[in-house]
Amino acid sequence: MNVNGGYDIHINTEEKIIYMDLKGTFPPDLADSFNQNYLSKIRPVDMKDYILKIDCLKLNVILPEELHKPQISVVFYKKSGFKKIQIVVQNPILKGQIERLMLFAGIDNVEFMEHK
């Protein structure tokens, strides 16, 4: 289990895909910087034509007492208005957590994948 959390956000304007790579466990300060970085990177882009592809293969299961932290990020994804959100996840517990977060935010254009 990778305790150190991290992320990478990359925008491919030709393919119209925003790639996110998430790993480990996010402490509160990293979650805050992630949200700020996400907003600054997507601000100049019209999201309605873009796919958000999130790689969660190296992300740890979220502790129940920490589930409120990613809710803010998921609300940002909803407000961004992506054409589609693709989530790469293999861990069934983590997948269930992400499904509940998406449902809570009212996001219904989500596609779950087990491979990149």
Nearest to 50 by CA among 35, 38, 37, 59: 38
Q: Which residues of the chain have pLDDT under 50?
A: 1
**What pLDDT does residue 3 have?**
63
The pTM of the full predicted model, rounded to 2 decimals, is: 0.91
What is the Cα gyration radius of the chain? Answer: 13
62-78: per-residue pLDDT in tens?
Answer: 888 777 778 889 999 99
Nearest to 64 by CA among 105, 103, 17, 96: 96
Query: If you count DSSP H runs as helices and E runs as strands, how many of each does the chain have, helices first?
Result: 3, 5
Domains of the chain and any CATH numbers: 6-113 (3.30.750.24)
Ramachandran bin of 28, using left for φ above 0, alpha for ψ from -120 to 50, beta for the remaining angles: alpha
